[in-house]
Structure 1
């Protein structure tokens, strides 16, 4: 078998020398402060059992979908799931994609046209950046969650009748855990006649239906992306918007058109997870998650390490520990003490912004949270 080209081997070597080489690991038996399973749905037997009930109800017994949605992969089950998801999120339509990455890539690569303008938050997810590159639109980034900087950039844009403007950001950021001022952002987009595209991947769990719904902004956001691999504990994503948007994506979103559709079991699990989210247990889990966020913030104050943490009211809490070697060593120490807390190293985040990314869940106990923060204080102070 041919060896990897020398220039690629050198890139791997450079990453290893920087203590930033990514590797696949399996962890068992640790206290989970790492996964995106914010509400514990990934291990819910109720959701699993309901998914099999749905497969029987709809007569879906295939292991795979057999093709793309435009060929043989469409089904009554997936269309029913989309209608119910659209209703839950107060949206005219919903279109399921195979992942959040595929959804962002598909939407952003095909909607902004050559000559249109995109302004995006400098910390948006890699999938958004990939879509922006493929769009061929004119692109400007604005400082993270800085609406004053965004407005200054909007003022510099030469507006022409056929030139559309798109603002792209996230409602909860995956690495910093912070939340933009959505009300002010929507007002700004309206004032400058821009269309807002919002990634809500990490917002479900904080609220039942995402921050756009909870803040009453559903009619003022052009497109929303909600992923199922976080709080819903399964796989896939959905794009929410107008019926015209859905029709356009079916015709032009390449990551939708040229992908085999999700399997019937995946779709049944998505529908079951949404039903569970709307149940008494689901609502209790949301309340418990928000309670645990407040508990963690109180303990970082108690143990005098709040200055090392970024401000966050979400399930993602970031403790800045500059340097790949140092943050990795602290993560390994936590691992030995039974805590699964992953280091986020450069180049995933900029140099000097390396951090421990602590993910909170509804199933974490107060004792686990205090033990983690107490240990971090001992290690880092």
Structure 2
């Protein structure tokens, strides 16, 4: 067994794609998902600290799953608050976006159903589909015509799964077109808003007023909100069904009440600080004005720079690191061979000077 595992690791090391855990680095952040800087916002931290001082039991362990001893008034109140904010009948909280997607797609579709996913859907959805007994099909990335050609051929219940903002290419889904197709063919549309929440207000579902056309949505809080956890937005019936049948929910110990309190506090903080998203949008524009070739949306905080040469990509990342710029190089198999890229994440706290210098160095390599 160990020999087999070591051979697989050695093979990855040989081609330069061995993943390793490293200490958190000091430098200029162009690689984290902390788009609005809330993970280190001192004002938000002070608000959270005050709440803990007023109620230290927030830090206590939940002691069990929510169906046993882990439920509380705070998590119930937070779910009601989230549902109201997003104009959905109900919300169900999870400890991570991965678990939320695992619960949705391993539980709702059964062996008589079909799940049609965008070919670039997040790995959590891919893994969940393997746990489901449903048939899974893929449609070409952000291609409504290809999706419709697949929907036309289906005879049973269908689910359509997309992200509103994709994390590898940094491009936006044609959400309105896909929602219209799902409605036309009576398919249940599920949208992962992980990277859109906070960047585009409460996400693109809200932006386009599609609450009644999206069967369920996943909102995660470890990115723009600077916290942790996730919520599924859905109908009360779907929430009850997940509580009864979703293994990732039933068999997971609930998080501390501090997490749920931090999420609700984060929502309130976002309302108080609209200037954070405004500054992020300004920085995205500054980056785009440097004329770097990218497949990413001009509105996205994620800007991908394709460099299908592993050695060149490694050299670029090292040069940037030598200048204190923290970036993330993405190799296959995370992305398709030939589409390796430098993934740049922009934030409200990045300076114009740093963005310009970052792009100057990148231009020397492409």
Coarse TM-score class (shorter-chain normalised): over 0.9
Q: Cα distance, 1:214 vs. partner?
A: 1.0
Pair 1:361 & 2:347 matched:
yes
Aligned equivalent of 2:257, options 261, 264, 281: 264
Give CA-to-partner distance per residue, 1:195-237, whole Å, 9 cap, x none.
Answer: 0011000001322211001110011100000000000001100
Give CA-to-partner distance per residue, 1:265-302, whole Å, 9 cap, x none.
Answer: 222211111111111x2x11011111111111111x2x
- Give the RMSD, CA atoms, in angstroms: 1.4
Query: What is the match of residue 310 of structure 1?
Result: 295
Q: Distance in 2 between matches of 1:274 and 1:311?
A: 27
Pair 1:253 & 2:246 matched:
yes
Query: What is the match of residue 330 of structure 1?
Result: 316
- Equivalent residues in 2 for 1:42-57 (5 A)? 42-55=39-52
Q: Distance in 2 between matches of 1:52 and 1:334?
A: 36
Q: Cα distance, 1:55 vs. partner?
A: 4.3
Give CA-to-partner distance per residue, 1:150-198, whole Å, 9 cap, x none.
Answer: 11111222x1xxx310000100001111011111111100111100011
Aligned equivalent of 1:78, options 60, 75, 82: 75
Query: What is the match of residue 14 of structure 1?
Result: 11
1:140 aligned counterpart, secondary structure:
strand
Q: Distance in 2 between matches of 1:83 and 1:59?
A: 23
**Unpaired stretches in structure 1, ≥5 consecutive residues:** none
Q: Distance in 2 between matches of 1:243 and 1:22?
A: 41
Q: Cα distance, 1:29 vs. partner?
A: 2.8
Aligned equivalent of 1:175, options 157, 168, 171: 168
* Count of paired positions: 365
Aligned equivalent of 1:185, options 172, 178, 189: 178
Q: Cα distance, 1:102 vs. partner?
A: 0.3
Q: Cα distance, 1:66 vs. partner?
A: 0.9
- Equivalent residues in 2 for 1:84-99 (5 A)? 84-99=81-96
- Equivalent residues in 2 for 1:1-381 (5 A)? 5-55=2-52, 60-157=57-154, 159=155, 163-279=156-272, 281=273, 283-299=274-290, 301=291, 305-306=292-293, 309-312=294-297, 313-380=299-366
Judge conservation of contact 1:197–1:224 (CA < 8 Å) in 2: yes
TM-score (ref. length: structure 1): 0.93
Q: Cα distance, 1:84 vs. partner?
A: 1.0
Q: Cα distance, 1:378 vs. partner?
A: 1.8
Q: Distance in 1 between matches of 2:50 and 2:70?
A: 20
1:347 aligned counterpart, secondary structure:
coil
Judge conservation of contact 1:202–1:230 (CA < 8 Å) in 2: yes
**Unpaired stretches in structure 2, ≥5 consecutive residues:** none
Q: Distance in 1 between matches of 2:176 and 2:239?
A: 25
Q: Cα distance, 1:47 vs. partner?
A: 2.2
Q: Cα distance, 1:61 vs. partner?
A: 4.1
1:379 aligned counterpart, secondary structure:
coil
